[in-house]
């Protein structure tokens, strides 16, 4: 009886081979990043805000190192997202100005406080 499964490998030509050699290796960077982010969450719950922010920054940095291609593609797409947000803000501003003009709220003088 075994408590944990044991992977079966065979020797071929002096090398170890396994059907899932890539999956058997631990991804230490991803593990460290996840551990740092979990620790940051626990520290935040414990009220240690500065330590939580430091752990979160470390975890985020490690995650970004692990996912460099994703970060590059997001960085290239960022100007498009900024343009979409600016367009949405412009539409909201125009709508607010229309509503203000229709209701006449913009015509009233500002209330003065009694001295």
**pLDDT average per 10 residues of sequence, the chain (115 residues):** 47 48 68 93 96 95 90 92 96 94 71 57
CA angle, corner 83, sides to 94 and 86, nearest 5?
A: 30
pLDDT score recorded for residue 29: 87
pTM above 0.75, yes or no: no
Per-residue pLDDT, 3 = 47
The pLDDT of residue 18: 47
Cβ neighbors of 49 (< 8 A, separation 6 or more) are 43
Measured between its terminal Cα atoms, the distance across the chain in Å is 87
Alpha-carbon distance 108 to 97, whole Å? Answer: 14
pLDDT of residue 96: 94
Separation CA 6–CA 83 (nearest Å) = 53
- How far is the C-alpha of 32 from the C-alpha of 63, rounded, in Å? 9
Tell how far CA 42 is from the center of its chain.
17
What pLDDT score does 112 carry? 60
Strand bridging mode 10-12 / 15-17: antiparallel
């Amino acid at each position: 009886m075994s408590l944990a499964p044991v992977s079966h490998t065979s020797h071929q030509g002096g090398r170890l081979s396994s059907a899932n050699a890539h999956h058997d290796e631990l991804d230490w960077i991803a593990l460290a990043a996840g551990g740092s982010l979990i620790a940051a969450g626990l520290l935040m719950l414990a009220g240690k805000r500065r330590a939580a922010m430091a752990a979160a920054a470390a975890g985020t940095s490690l995650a970004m190192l692990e996912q460099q291609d994703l970060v590059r593609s997001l960085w290239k797409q960022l100007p498009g997202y900024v343009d979409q947000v600016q367009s949405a803000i412009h539409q909201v501003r125009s709508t607010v100005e229309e509503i203000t003009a229709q209701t006449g709220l913009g015509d009233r003088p500002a209330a003065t406080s009694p001295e």
